[in-house]
Chain A
Amino acid sequence: MIVSIMVPARHRESTFERALEAVRVDRGGDAGLESALARLTGGGTARPDTPDGWVTAVRVLPARAAAFAPFPEGIEPRLQAVLRARAIDRLYTHQAAAIAHVLERRDVVITTPTASGKTLCYNAPVLSALLRDPSARALYLFPTKALAQDQLAELHDLAARLRDASEDGSTSVGVFTYDGDTPQDARRAIRGRAHIVLSNPDMLHSGILPHHPRWAKLFENLRFVVIDELHAYRGVFGSHLANVLRRLRRVCGHYGSDPTFICSSATIANPRELAEALVERPFELVSESGAPRGEKAFLFVNPPVVNAELGIRRSCLAETRRIAAEFLKRRLQLIVFAQSRLATEILTTYLKDDFAGPPGTGEEIRGYRGGYLPQRRREIEKGLRDGTVRAVVATSALELGIDIGALDVCVMAGYPGSIAATWQRAGRAGRRSGRSAAVLVATSAPIDQFVVRNPAYFFDATPEHALIDADNLHILVEHVKCAAFELPFSASERYGRHDVQDVLGVLAENGFVHQDPSGGIWQWTSESYPADAVSLRSISSDNFVVIDTTNGAEVIGETSFTSGPATLHEKAIYLVEGALYQVERLDFDGRKAYVRQIDCDYYTDAITYTKVTVLETFEQGSSPRPAGVGAHGEVHVASRVVGFKKIKFYTNENVGSGELELPEQQMHTTSYWLTVPEAVMAALPYAADDRRDGIVGLSFAMRQVAQLLLMCDRQDIGISIGSGEQNLDTDEPRIFVYDNYPGGIGFSEPLFGMHGDLLVRTRELIAGCACKHGCPACVGPVGNTGPLAKVAALRILDLIA
């Protein structure tokens, strides 16, 4: 306790952390962990994978010693002194390598595990430069406001120490957050006084770049741009950020600055590629961590099957509760990750009931999710660091870099959706010395089932690729507008991969810009403020608004135009923070859905009829024997929601359905598709309907695997079954996996590249499933697909793969 009061709590660095561990009292220790693991695994940790068992895998990741390096020469001595006073008298090798790159003005991306001292990689060179040249400026971008706040405290501490250490107390480094919460009257002062501005991409996009004349001081002197949590910028968000950064570099160019980019990322397969795609410059990669690591055991748990026919397993939450209890009983400090806010609250309640101490002992078990007030969050974070909080149940809100120290155990209720996110969550447990454990408890979702039954996929394969498409026309056009608003385009200027002069020409047709006949300059000629029309976290600003009419009329959420009909049709169940609402009326033209709070035990899943037409084939695979052919290209997607199913929570039983009539939606996007040759279909020993079921089941499973391979969210891709366009008379089905965003978001080409892998893993998923005729974890529930779907799908795969 004393230590945590005297030394500011925001510490991630080296020896201080070790000191803190030493004074941490009454932890269960290695013996406690050993006994809990022995109980869970029914023996030791040395055993092979058992895909059919309850614990499907136990892996032990060995300890690793620290590798140190001295401070690079270029680090300002005053800063070195302050760091030494914080017991940082040398650096880990990755820190030294990253800092050396930055000092040489090379853009760098750092990917090392959670709690390896990443922030020092950028804070040290930035502060060092600011001490040398007080006119220099730095911009830090975080994906969330909470992360910026977390860093603000750390930087304030360093700035205060630097001021105290300077002879006359005059060294002052101004550090401010600038985001939607910044009071209007403070903004002018911040623009003038901030050496380091902590913000987020959304604010840069709509609040800073369009007002760049007021930020002239920042842009003239901008030496560093720090992008933390780089891996968060994939898909739509990343494609937008790439364009915001293009605009940032354009504005910097206008003011004559050329900042160095420092990015940090969780472990993904392609950090350098992602950084280079986002910033469009070559990057150095620092990926070898010099931070020490204790031994860590990683367990996969698959809850037992309770209904083999339907493939239903015991509730993941109940399993998680039992497993968490084993660790809590032994006084181990614990973090439990849940998939939703609702699940977080349920698990918190369970664990509190099981373990609440006598009254007055303080809250040892806490929940943590978005929606809690900042003060409460800070209190929980501090409690975790000083050990007064024994267990926290959290959503992904705690997955990002918020500092909570290192805990003994991490239990994940459900697969977090990607290998990278799983490692990041698991990284929350793990001390620099001593042992730790991570446990993944699977739900009955197909992805979870695939992962726990194929442990090698997770442990041995590279993590996912983060993909973006900065030149998606829908996104590009919006940002060209913003850029033209910020500074006129010249007749020879380039922007992105497409010819921006063409883009400006079409914008001129619509009156947004006008090319001056004498100089060829493109001027903004619209009274709108284009940044307001673009949300970085979605592709279109055309949204459905959700209005709760339970008490009066209150807007409780919004949904993108594309997913509106499927999630907000009449009688749909809409979920917000675990609360259930039923849609009473959808005003399609007004883009409004009126909902009312309801208590029910099911959710709804829309039935969408989708027709995909190939517009252009970019690439097509070739194969010597009658095999499935993969291709990718541009497609037209027309979809209509025609009905919905009611699905019971947890068991995923189908408990009812309804019909709907909604307008058709159309878009152009990109798609991967698999064509199953006629010969293959003809060779199947089944009736036409059963063959068809096989294709449906195959597509169901492919979707899960594609989602896994692409590191994307479920709604990011769509699936459709069609037939060959050229030979309509033949029965040659095609399975389309398309980007569910107008213009495509860059999934199709990589998926085409992974064609073989996709088929192999789909086969593994289906063949490895214990169900008899199909279940939600492989080819879909029997009720959906028919009794022969599973066997037919496997036969097709045997013939084409």
Chain B
Amino acid sequence: MSLADRLRGVIGPAPGASGANPSGSHREPERLAPHDALDAIVEVLGGEWREANGHRYMVIDTRYGPGHVLGRVAVSDCLPPADGVWPRLPLLAGPPGAAGAEAPALQDQVSEVGGRLLFVDLETTGLAGGAGSYAFLVGCGWFEPPLPSASALATVGSHRDPTGQHWPVGPRTRTDQADRSAGQGACFRVRQFFLASYAAERAVLEAVADTADAASGVVTYNGKTFDLPLLETRFLLHRMATPFAGKPHVDMLHPVRRLWSAPRPRSDRPPRLDGRPDFSGAFGERVPACRLTNIEETLLGHVREDDVAGFEIPSRYFHYVRTSDARPLRAVLEHNRMDLLGLAMLTARAAQLLDEGAAAARSAREALGLGRLFERGGLAAEARACYQRAADMDSADSTTRAEALRACAILHRRDRRYADAAAAWRRVLGGRGCPAHLAREATEALAVHHEHRERDLPEARRLARQALQFETSMARTQAVEYRLARLERKLGEPGR
């Protein structure tokens, strides 16, 4: 038996030519003559060839004019202020004290370099990372300010009110198409770098670095754990400096969760036996609502048509690598552009909310989430206003209202405004359908309040006894029992 035959016995027979999977066919298909092939790829993907160190890669530029619409929202609704950046977006750049702390503040950077925020999204050959996972498409996007001569065009097709901060609510019709011509007005521009052959990776990375160097900050969706580390590995592999190191980074996954995802169930499902993260959904099954396309749907009213499923993407690229047939990749490039445009729009919405504050929130959930973002960014007054708005909105569901009041109460307590805190706790208990764990917390907090601030010991005792009715952890129950015993002692009465 030949080595190859024995190997086939070990590896298994090659998948037959009948495989529906475009990458499944093992036969080397006939290849086009080099020049025809290059032309054919341009025709399909619509970019232009660049060459560096003898290796070709492709750059695809797409311009989305101010009137370009995704669902209800136009590019013009999303433009950052004329001087370049939304003032409060830096609040989202990494948690305070974490990795982001080492990076210079976004605010300082943006004023220096003209304030271009770079939206980044990758399409890769695998999700696992490591030296064998390539970024075959690096998508970059940014808002371009209008050219001075064309500034009059900036508001064409826009429904914006003079403050420029409100999103349209009603449906919109498509007013223009993405175009690849050099436009005059403000726009969202997408530049995609396509790895036409593995050998061109260094050239692609150099081009990406050039684009990234011009940016003052980076915005991604789940880029903290996926896109940026994967790119970093590619740069490291080529012994190149990572252009994103030290740049402020806003990963919109977390703000989006706060602002627009459905409330999470309290009891998470048990972790997997092997302790590995669960990647069954794009970001874990727990919050399927946090897929970018879902958020686009709920927030922008945009439903993607013929979108490529994420799991198909690597095999489409491998098909291209084997055959030079780029047709299945056309949809992948479009998918990447939609991810970038959608991300830019969500970011704009979040930035507008931050800049405008509580009044701009359209739902209780959004107001609550905005409050959390403010609180995390250290803006307590804005946070409080958001929590209050969330609690007051008629549309608030009971859980959201209770969570908003709780957050409010904790802020008050931190500011030593105990009466206000107690009032908020009372409202927690007053609401119908208040989740038990919040009711327990409120009852305990009120017991503390009556014992130490109001010095109303009988009321404190009543509340402590009430708190014991809730099921909770041993430690918490013990703490309440301890309090109760102390209250009994203070009241000079025998046991219950």
Show the binding face of A for B, using Cβ within 8 Å. 210-214, 216, 473-474, 477, 484-488, 498-499, 502-503, 505-511, 514, 516-519, 521, 523-532, 554-555, 615-616, 668, 742-743
Contact = CB atoms under 8 A, between A and B. Distances in A.
Given A510-B11, A514-B318, A525-B125, A213 B236 contact: yes
Contact of B31 (A502, A514, A517, A742): A517
A498 B7 CA distance: 11
Contact of A507 (B11, B125, B314, B322): B11
Contacts of A213: 131, 233-234, 236-237
B130 A525 contact: no
A477 B130 CA distance: 19
A529 B132 contact: yes
B130 A210 contact: yes
B26 A499 contact: no
Interface in B1-54: 1, 3-4, 6-12, 14-15, 23-24, 26, 31
A400 B5 CA distance: 42
A506 B8 contact: yes
Given A473-B10, A499-B3, A528-B128, A509 B26 contact: yes
A506 B322 contact: no
Nearest to B236: A213
Nearest to A553: B273
Contact of A521 (B11, B129, B198): B198
B416 interface: no
A719 to B, nearest CB: 24
B199 interface: yes
B131 A486 contact: yes
Among B129, B130, B273, find the residue whose CB has the most chain A CB atoms closer than 10 A: B130
Contact of B14 (A510, A524, A554, A742): A510
B126 interface: yes
B197 interface: yes
B126 A516 contact: no
B273 A528 contact: no
A64 B11 CA distance: 55
A521 B199 contact: yes
A523 B198 contact: yes
Contacts of A527: 125-128, 133, 314-315
B239 interface: yes
Contacts of B129: 211, 529
Given A213-B236, A524-B132, A506 B125 contact: no
A477 B132 contact: no
The 4 closest A-B pairs by CB, nearest first: A485-B132, A529-B128, A213-B236, A527-B126
A667 to B, nearest CB: 10
Interface residues of B, number: 39
B236 A216 contact: yes
A679 B126 CA distance: 64
A508 B125 contact: no
B15 A488 contact: no
Interface in B308-343: 314-315, 318, 321-322
A509 to B, nearest CB: 4
A502 B131 contact: no
B97 to A, nearest CB: 13
Nearest to B315: A527
A214 B321 contact: no
A511 B132 contact: no
Among A473, A474, A507, A742, find the residue whose CB has the most chain B CB atoms closer than 10 A: A473
A506 B11 contact: yes
A526 B126 contact: yes
A125 B77 CA distance: 67
A617 B14 CA distance: 28
A512 B15 CA distance: 12
A511 B321 CA distance: 11
Contacts of B23: 511, 525
A529 B126 contact: yes
Contacts of B10: 473-474, 477, 742-743
Contacts of A216: 236, 239
Contact of A473 (B7, B31, B126, B132): B7
25 contacts: A213-B233, A213-B237, A214-B236, A474-B10, A486-B130, A486-B131, A506-B4, A511-B23, A511-B26, A514-B318, A514-B322, A516-B198, A516-B199, A518-B197, A523-B321, A524-B132, A525-B23, A526-B318, A527-B128, A529-B128, A529-B130, A529-B132, A554-B273, A615-B1, A742-B10
A214 B232 CA distance: 9
Nearest to A486: B131
Given A213-B233, A510-B11, 19 more contacts: A211-B129, A211-B130, A473-B6, A473-B7, A473-B10, A477-B7, A499-B3, A505-B4, A507-B11, A508-B26, A510-B12, A514-B318, A514-B322, A521-B199, A523-B198, A524-B132, A526-B126, A531-B130, A616-B1
A569 B123 CA distance: 46
Contacts of A503: 3, 7
Contacts of B321: 514, 523, 525
Contacts of B199: 516, 518-519, 521
A212 B236 CA distance: 9
A530 B130 CA distance: 10
A230 B11 CA distance: 30
Nearest to A742: B10
Among A214, A502, A508, A743, find the residue whose CB has the most chain B CB atoms closer than 10 A: A214
Interface string B92-133: 000000000000000000000000000000000111111111
A510 B10 CA distance: 12
A532 B7 contact: no
Given A509-B26, A514-B318, A212 B131 contact: yes
A498 B3 contact: yes
B322 A525 contact: yes
A524 B10 CA distance: 19
B233 A214 contact: yes
Nearest to A615: B1
Given A503-B7, A524-B132, A509 B14 contact: yes
Nearest to B7: A506
Nearest to A255: B239
Contacts of A615: 1
Nearest to B273: A555
Contact of B126 (A477, A502, A528): A528
A790 to B, nearest CB: 41
B25 to A, nearest CB: 9
Contact of A510 (B15, B273, B315): B15
B4 A210 contact: no
Contacts of A532: 128
B273 A210 contact: no
Nearest to A472: B10
B273 A211 contact: no
Contacts of B127: 527
Nearest to B313: A527
Nearest to A499: B3
A519 B55 CA distance: 12
A486 B4 contact: no
A96 to B, nearest CB: 40
A535 to B, nearest CB: 13
B98 to A, nearest CB: 10
